[in-house]
Amino acid sequence: MTAVQIAEWLESTSVGLWVRESLWGFSIMVAVHILGLTLSVGTLLWFDLRLLGISMTGSQVSKVYRALMPWFAVGFGVMLVSGGVLLAGFATAAFENTFFRLKMAAVCVAAVNALAYHLMTERRIAHWDHAARPPFPVRLAGLVSIAVWATAILSGRMMSYTMF
Amino acid sequence: MPALDSLLAAIETSRLATTVGQSIALTGWLSALHLIGMTVVTGGTLVSSLRLLGVLLADEPVTVVTRAAVRGVTIGLVVSLSTGFLLVSPRASAAAHAVFFQTKMALLVMAAAFHFAYYRRVAEGRLGSVWGQRLSGGLALVLWLGVAVAGSAYILLE
């Protein structure tokens, strides 16, 4: 299947039709997506700032992660579902939109950054868990996370001004 | 109120408002920065308020968790207020008469006043009993979440 065919299929689903044709569906889903964003990126930011040695430097990195992870995990779940619903409604326009592609690229980089941190950098956490200023690879992971999520937010907002 | 209407009209016809209103790109960037500011405010409020409520990192000293978060809320608020003013300036009159915008502004004033007058000092450990901390955390969450919801409603429904 081509991207165009996938987009057309998504738009023909009952979810896609509901988003496009219901009176409040689109607005409610956008509001849910934005509130999911504030919960997910809003709390993840404070873990990233701990990795950077800026916030909560008196607490162990692992402890901050365990405390915040449930909150940003729920937020990301809300964003994923609401984003999927919104995409189903306007997939063709989204796939053709430069800012949508940039947003998806940023989200992919965020995922790769998180995987690299958890699979490689975090393996030596016993050496720096208590450090107020963690080593460079740790700080880099925090900085990349902040940069890519800021890019995703910027691209997401620009989508709404360029898609319709 | 004639004086208010005159002020709003003056804002709408200002060079700044005209520049923003005529540029989709500028409006988009301002909107994105406004959303980033809002994310910093709500995220910082969540972290500090949940600690004050005894839900998050309850065994860590209050100020270890809340100090930077509260400063983040202040920074996010500066970003949100400045971008928000620029965004609404081209349609200041219509916004002032919109119910959701009025609600957002009322909640924003209460949230900001509470933040600067009391909450910061509680979160920085300068005053407040345990119950005072919990009430402050709960009130801050309700107010800032209210601002976020009212703001979303205004943008999407009006």
**Measured between alpha carbons, how far is A75 from A46 in angstroms, rounded to an integer?**
14
pLDDT tens for A10-58 read 998 999 999 998 888 888 999 899 999 999 999 999 999 999 999 999 9
Which residues of A, range 28-87, sit inside 8 Å of B by Cβ? 30-31, 34-35, 37-39, 41-46, 49, 54-59, 63-64, 67-68, 71
**DSSP string computed for B68-91:** HHHHHHHHHHHHHHHHHHHHHGGG
Q: Which residues of A46-65 are buried (b: 16+ CB within 10 A; e: fewer)?
A: bbbbbbbbbbbbebbbebbb
Residue B85 is predicted with a pLDDT of 94
pLDDT at B4: 84
Q: What pTM value is reported for the model?
A: 0.91
| DSSP state letters, A87-156 | HHHSHHHHHT-HHHHHHHHHHHHHHHHHHHHHHTGGGGHHHHTT-SS--HHHHHHHHHHHHHHHHHHHHH
For B6, counting Cβ atoms within 10 Å of its Cβ (0-12 exposed, 13-18 middle, 19+ buried), the class is: exposed
pLDDT reading at B68 higher than 90 = no
- C-alpha distances (whole Å) from A135 to each of A156, A158, B69, B106 are 32, 35, 22, 45
Q: Does the pLDDT of residue B123 top 90, yes or no?
A: no
Question: Which of B41, B46, B48 to probe by mutation at the A interface, max A CB count within 10 Å?
Answer: B46
CA A15/CA A31 separation, integer angstroms: 17
d(C-alpha A74, C-alpha A80), whole Å: 10
Inter-chain touch A154–B157, beta carbons under 8 Å: no
Cα–Cα distance between B3 and B10 in angstroms, integer?
Answer: 11
CB B104 within 8 A of CB B147: yes
CA distance A98 to chain B (A): 14
Question: How many CB atoms are located within 10 Å of the residue B105 CB?
Answer: 19
Mean pLDDT taken over chain B:
90
Chain A residues with CB under 8 Å of B69 CB are 46, 55
What number is the average pLDDT over the span A139-144? Answer: 97
Q: Across B4-13, B28-37, B118-127, B146-155, which has the greatest mean pLDDT?
A: B28-37
- Where do we find the tokens 């607005």? A27
Of A37, A39, A158, the CB nearest to B28: A158
Q: What is the mean pLDDT of residues B136-141?
A: 92
User: How much is the pLDDT for B158?
Assistant: 67
Interatomic CA distance for residues B116 and B138, integer angstroms: 16
A67 to B36: CB separation less than 8 angstroms, yes or no: no
Chain A environment of B42 (Cβ under 8 Å): 38-39, 42
Residue B1: its pLDDT value, please? Answer: 72
Q: Are B44 and B73 in contact (CB under 8 A)?
A: yes
Mean pLDDT value across residues B125-139: 84
Q: Which two tokens stand for residue B67?
A: 């100090």
- Residue B148 clears pLDDT 80, i.e. is over it: yes
DSSP percent split of chain A into helix, strand, coil, nearest 5: 85, 0, 15
The Cα–Cα gap between B6 and A148 comes to 43
* Under 8 Å between Cβ of B16 and B126: no
Statement: residue A63 has pLDDT above 80: yes
Is the complex ipTM higher than 0.85? yes
- Residue B110 reports pLDDT greater than 80: yes
**Neighbour count for residue B103 (Cβ, 10 Å):** 17
Interchain CB distance below 8 Å, B68 and A158: no
pLDDT band per the 50, 70, 90 thresholds, residue A2: confident
Asked whether residue A104 carries a pLDDT value surpassing 70, the answer given is: yes
The pLDDT tens digits for A68-86 are 999 999 999 999 999 999 9
Q: For testing the chain B interface, which of A38, A41, A60 should be mutated: the one with the most B CBs within 10 Å?
A: A38
